[in-house]
């Protein structure tokens, strides 16, 4: 795992060095640069494979290709053996040279053979082309900026690009609007007007100042496999793929651990490795008395004890404002999900003992674990209920108020009812965006609202939902999530918060072979009105104690409501003070005060909205003041 940076079309050696140094946290074990008159490539290394070799930038034996690479190719050993059998001389034992040689021999066609997570840049000296590539699900980040003269800069994180004074760091208003709806900025935009994200599963080619971008991977829902008609049959077909994916994700020359909550996803990963005798340390987070309803440590402890693993627990006591600056710096952009706080602390804790950790990210998307999938099935039937009755039920929920906890059924009920009248794609986008009434909850100042209306981007989630040519509502939601919520929320959080501490986190459920196999699974294999993750539960039933299978879903949760309340006085006196709001000019002072007041009175749970505004203000202090 590493950080990469560079430029093409010109080469400023001092700038390349500065960009590379800005990514030191991603690669504390070494650095290197490659300089030519019109290209510069930089690399920061976190040594995982071939600790003695594998330094980057790396040039192939012919001298025609140079690579900087961030990621892991989990099937590199098989690919390496294939190259050696073909007579290709290899100088190192790691995956970087394998990737470089495959690109030299096959070009972009080699991408289809890679099983892993990656973002890399290849400079082709023969054609004078720079190729940027990002993995299928965007597990590894890649940003770029094209300057007025056609020069291209790229990096793992925006902070490296911002070392160049010519990069426009002004606020992108369309990105701001998306952030306040989704709590992240979707690609290809970033929060900075002059910085773009290369979307997952895409590649970029620069030649003579011209940039072309194309998609190289997609995974739309497919018609069901007629040979698989039951949950048992699907489980039997998928289990070997899942086991192989988990095993491949342990390839490493340094200690490996796993995040373990005691829930189905993380316990399945731990069980698969324990059954194979893999040495493993596990890590779990818990809370004090205020977080009793979110406590999972006893569940994780039981799973670790069952498999005889070395288990470590962190009791988290945080002031949410103490780590705010460090968290925002880890993203370089506003990221409004408070799970980043948990990921930040858990990653720091795990890094004290291991360099690599496996996590259960993607299990909910791939196998159908989110309640919103079941909500889609229910909404198809409720769509026939008279609108007046739905509106009456929504008003009743508003009168009851909303407890400010992550487990508020009233809030979920209000969001569900508010969106029933919307088209399916917009309905799902509203749920993923954490609620309807989005215009009401985005309290723009009049001039801000006018300007955003002129630049507002299409609905990112709804567009993905409507894109597949085949699939029912649940299948479309699955597709939207693997192109939206999973890469841009879940995996972005995991990468930035783990790499802030030099920890590599791997996510076996995001293996593309597993994803493509599940693309043909009927929605009934994922969820019914009463059950979720049906295929995974069937597989895990052979691996796990029965108690794990019976647990209710909790998710990566924390007593954020209590933490927010404890900091409320300082928030109102500083981050959301009327003078601060007025000076920024983006929001209406009265509108922000209304949101804070409704939350304080318990009539609406605005925890995430308030947090997103705090994060945005902190970002402005760090990047725009």
Residues 35 and 94 in one domain: yes
Position 328 in a domain: yes
Position 591 in a domain: no
285 in a known ligand binding site: yes
Three-state DSSP class for residue 73: strand
The distance in angstroms from the start CA to the end CA of the chain is 32
- The tally of domains found in the chain comes to 2
Strands 65-73 and 116-124: antiparallel
Position 602 in a domain: no
Q: What pLDDT shows up at residue 119?
A: 98
Q: What pLDDT shows up at residue 191?
A: 98
Instruction: Please state, in angstroms and rounded to a whole number, the distance separating the CA atoms of residues 293 and 287.
Output: 10
Residues 138 and 231 in one domain: no
Residues 124 and 69 in one domain: yes
Ranking 136-140, 295-299, 611-615 by mean pLDDT, the lowest is 295-299
Residues 275 and 394 in one domain: yes
Three-state DSSP class for residue 54: coil
Position 593 in a domain: no
Residues 126 and 196 in one domain: yes
Position 112 in a domain: yes
Residues 186 and 283 in one domain: no
Q: Is the pLDDT of residue 412 over 60?
A: no
* Average of per-residue pLDDT across 421-426: 83
Residues 258 and 308 in one domain: yes
Are 496 and 331 contacting, i.e. CB atoms less than 8 angstroms apart? yes
Are 563 and 607 contacting, i.e. CB atoms less than 8 angstroms apart? no
What strand order describes the sheet that includes 310-316? 310-316, 281-287, 256-259, 356-358, 504-506
Confidence of residue 437 (pLDDT cuts 50, 70, 90): very low
Three-state DSSP class for residue 472: coil
Last residue of a domain, one of 215, 236, 253: 215
| CATH code of residue 106 | 3.60.20.10
Q: What pLDDT shows up at residue 432?
A: 86
Q: Is the pLDDT of residue 387 over 70?
A: no
Position 611 in a domain: no
Last residue of a domain, one of 165, 192, 215: 215
Are 560 and 339 contacting, i.e. CB atoms less than 8 angstroms apart? no
Are 554 and 263 contacting, i.e. CB atoms less than 8 angstroms apart? yes
Q: Is the pLDDT of residue 175 over 90?
A: yes
Three-state DSSP class for residue 294: helix
Q: Is 145 exposed, middle or buried (0-12, 13-18, 19+ CB in 10 A)?
A: buried
DSSP string, 489-525: IIIHHHHHHHHTTT-EEE-GGG-HHHHHHHTTS-GGG
Position 144 in a domain: yes
Q: What pLDDT shows up at residue 116?
A: 97
Please report where in the chains the tokens 């560079």 appear, as a residue.
6
Inter-CA distances, 137 with 201, 417, 445, 485, Å: 6, 31, 36, 11
Q: What pLDDT shows up at residue 592?
A: 95
Which of the 8 DSSP states describes residue 573? I
163 half-sphere exposure, CB direction, 13 A CA radius: 23
DSSP string, 343-392: HHHHHHHHHTT-SEEE--TTHHHHHT--HHHHHHHHHHHHTTS-HHHHHH
Determine what percent of the chain is predicted with pLDDT higher than 70.
Answer: 90
Q: Is the pLDDT of residue 561 over 60?
A: yes
Are 180 and 448 contacting, i.e. CB atoms less than 8 angstroms apart? no
Residues 202 and 342 in one domain: no
* Average of per-residue pLDDT across 506-520: 97
Residue positions annotated with a catalytic role: 2
Please report where in the chains the tokens 């342990």 appear, as a residue.
250
Position 195 in a domain: yes
Mean pLDDT of all residues belonging to the chain:
90
Confidence of residue 603 (pLDDT cuts 50, 70, 90): confident
DSSP string, 167-232: S--SB-HHHHHHHHHHSSPPTTB-SBTT-EEPPTTEEEEEETTEEEEEE-------PPPTT--SHH
Residues 20 and 60 in one domain: yes
Residues 23 and 42 in one domain: yes
Residues 201 and 316 in one domain: no
pLDDT digits (tens, 9 = 90+) for 247-293: 999 998 888 999 999 999 999 999 999 988 888 999 999 998 877 77
95 in a known ligand binding site: yes
Q: Is the pLDDT of residue 7 over 70?
A: yes
* Average of per-residue pLDDT across 415-420: 64
| CATH code of residue 327 | 3.40.50.620
Last residue of a domain, one of 189, 215, 241: 215
Q: Please give the residue that has the higher pLDDT: either 606 or 331.
A: 331
pLDDT digits (tens, 9 = 90+) for 198-222: 999 999 999 999 999 999 999 999 9
Please report where in the chains the tokens 């318990």 appear, as a residue.
602
Q: Is the pLDDT of residue 56 over 50?
A: yes
Q: What pLDDT shows up at residue 411?
A: 55
Instruction: Please state, in angstroms and rounded to a whole number, the distance separating the CA atoms of residues 406 and 416.
Output: 16
> Could you list the residue range(s) of the whole structural domain that residue 471 is in?
225-554
Are 274 and 309 contacting, i.e. CB atoms less than 8 angstroms apart? yes
Phi, psi of 58 (to 5 degrees): -120, 135
Residues 275 and 160 in one domain: no
Inter-CA distances, 337 with 198, 419, 562, Å: 22, 21, 16
Which tokens belong to 225?
A: 């496999």
Instruction: Please state, in angstroms and rounded to a whole number, the distance separating the CA atoms of residues 622 and 226.
Output: 55
């Amino acid at each position: 795992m590493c950080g990469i940076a560079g430029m093409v079309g010109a080469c400023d050696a001092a700038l390349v060095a500065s960009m590379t140094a800005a990514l030191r946290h991603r690669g504390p074990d070494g650095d290197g640069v490659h300089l030519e008159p019109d290209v510069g490539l930089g690399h920061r290394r976190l040594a995982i494979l071939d600790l003695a070799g594998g330094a980057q930038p790396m040039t192939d034996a012919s001298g025609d290709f140079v690579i900087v690479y961030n990621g892991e190719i989990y099937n590199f050993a098989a690919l390496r053996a294939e190259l050696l059998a073909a007579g290709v001389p290899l100088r190192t034992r790691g995956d970087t040279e394998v990737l470089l040689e495959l690109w030299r021999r096959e070009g972009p066609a080699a991408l289809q053979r890679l099983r892993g997570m990656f973002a890399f840049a290849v400079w082709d000296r023969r054609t004078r082309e720079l190729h940027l590539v990002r993995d299928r699900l965007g597990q590894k980040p890649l940003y770029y900026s094209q300057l007025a003269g056609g020069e291209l800069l790229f990096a793992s994180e925006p902070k490296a690009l911002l070392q160049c004074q010519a990069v426009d760091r002004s606020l992108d208003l369309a990105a701001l609007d998306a952030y306040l709806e989704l709590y992240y900025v979707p690609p290809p935009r970033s929060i900075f007007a002059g910085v773009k994200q290369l979307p997952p599963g895409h590649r970029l080619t620069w030649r003579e100042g011209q940039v072309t971008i194309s998609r190289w991977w997609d995974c739309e829902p497919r018609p069901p496999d007629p040979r698989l008609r039951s949950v048992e049959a699907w489980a039997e077909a998928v289990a070997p793929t899942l086991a192989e994916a988990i095993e491949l994700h342990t390839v490493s020359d340094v200690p490996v651990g796993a995040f373990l909550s005691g829930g189905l996803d993380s316990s399945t990963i731990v069980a698969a490795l324990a059954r194979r005798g893999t040495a493993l340390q596990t890590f779990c987070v818990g809370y004090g008395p205020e977080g009793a309803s979110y406590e999972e440590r006893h569940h994780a402890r039981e799973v670790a004890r069952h498999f005889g693993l070395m288990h470590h627990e962190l009791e988290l006591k945080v002031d949410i404002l103490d780590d705010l600056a460090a968290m925002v710096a880890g993203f370089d952009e506003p990221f409004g999900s408070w799970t980043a706080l948990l990921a930040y602390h858990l990653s720091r804790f795990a890094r004290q003992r291991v360099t690599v950790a496996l996590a259960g990210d993607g299990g909910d998307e791939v196998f159908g674990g989110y309640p919103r999938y079941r909500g889609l099935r229910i909404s198809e039937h409720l769509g026939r209920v008279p609108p007046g009755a739905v509106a009456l039920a929504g008003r009743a929920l508003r009168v009851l108020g909303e407890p400010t906890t992550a487990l508020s059924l009233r809030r979920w009920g209000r969001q569900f009812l508010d969106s029933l009248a919307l088209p399916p794609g917009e309905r799902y986008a509203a749920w993923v965006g954490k609620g309807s009434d989005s215009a009401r909850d985005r309290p723009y100042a009049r001039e801000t609202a006018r300007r955003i209306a002129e630049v507002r981007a299409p609905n990112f989630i709804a567009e993905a939902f409507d894109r597949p040519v085949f699939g029912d509502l649940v299948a479309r939601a699955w597709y939207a999530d693997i192109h939206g919520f999973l890469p841009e929320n879940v995996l972005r959080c995991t990468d930035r918060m783990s790499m802030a501490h030099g920890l590599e986190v791997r996510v076996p459920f995001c293996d593309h072979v597993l994803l493509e196999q599940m693309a043909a699974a009927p929605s009934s294999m994922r969820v019914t009105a009463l059950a979720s993750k049906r295929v995974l539960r069937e597989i895990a039933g052979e691996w796990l104690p029965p108690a794990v299978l019976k647990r209710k879903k909790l998710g990566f949760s924390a007593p954020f409501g209590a933490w927010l309340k404890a900091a409320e006085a300082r928030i109102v006196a500083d981050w959301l003070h009327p003078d601060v709001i007025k000076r920024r000019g983006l929001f209406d002072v009265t509108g922000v005060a209304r949101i804070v007041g409704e939350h304080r009175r318990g009539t609406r749970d605005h925890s995430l909205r308030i947090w997103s505004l705090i994060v945005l203000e902190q970002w402005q202090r760090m990047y725009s003041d």
